[in-house]
Amino acid sequence: MNKILDFIAENPMAAVIAGGEIGFWVAIVAGLVARYLLKLKRTSVVLLLLTPVIDLVVLAATVIDLQNGAKANFVHGLAAVYLGFSVVFGHSMIKWADVRFAHRFAGGPPPPPKPAGRARTRAEWRDWFKCVLACGLAAGVLLLLIAMVGDTEQVDQLWGWLPRLGVVTAIWFATGPLWQELSPKDDRIEERAGR
C-alpha cells in the first residue's frame, strides 16, 4: 500500500487518471440508478453526460501539469491513451451497462447473446476499427501535447507511446479479427445464434 501511495505522491497525474476512471464508472452507475431505480430521467441524462466532462478534466490536468514544467513520464502518455479509448469506447460501454442494468432492475429484455459465425467476425472487425480510431485519437493527443510543450527534453517520454499504440493495434488485430477470420466457421453455431 505504501508503494502505491508513494507512486501517487511522485506522480499526481496517476491519481487524476485513476480518479477519472473511477469517476467514469461512478457517473455511469449513478446515471443508471437515477434512470431505472429512482425514475429520474433528466438527472440520469445529466449524470451520463458527465462522462465526457471527466475525459476533459483528465486532458486539462495533463496539459496544465506539462505546461507547469513537469517532465513528461509514463503517466502523461497513459492519460492520452485513456482519453482516446474512453472517447471511442465510452458510448458502447455505457450502452453495455445500460442493457444489463435495465434487464436486472427494470424488467428490460435480456442482453443479446454474443454474436457467432459471420456476425462475430463483423463484430471483431468493428471493434478493431474502433481500436484503430482510439489509438489514432491518442496519438493525436500525444502529438498535440508534444507541440504545446515544445521542449524536446521535457516531452521525450511521450514519443515512446506512439510505437506502443502500434503494438496495441497489432495485438488487437491478431487476437480479434485475424483470429476470427482464421478460425473454422461452424454454420450450426451461427444457426443456433440466429434463433
Q: What span, in angstroms and rounded, lies between the C-alpha atoms of 102 and 104?
A: 6
pLDDT tens string, the chain, 195 residues long: the values are: 788 888 877 778 888 888 998 999 999 999 999 999 999 999 999 999 999 999 999 999 999 988 888 888 888 999 999 999 999 999 999 999 999 999 999 999 999 999 999 999 999 999 999 999 999 999 999 999 999 888 788 888 999 999 999 999 999 999 999 999 998 775 545 445 554
Instruction: Tell me if 147 sits within 8 A of 141, measured CB to CB.
Output: no
Taking the model in full, what pTM does it have? 0.84
Give 3-state DSSP helix, strand, coil % of the chain, rounded to 5: 85, 0, 15
Dig out the grid coordinates for 108 from the structure. Answer: 428490460
Q: What span, in angstroms and rounded, lies between the C-alpha atoms of 128 and 178?
A: 10
Dihedral of the CA atoms 53, 55, 56, 62 (nearest 10)?
Answer: 150
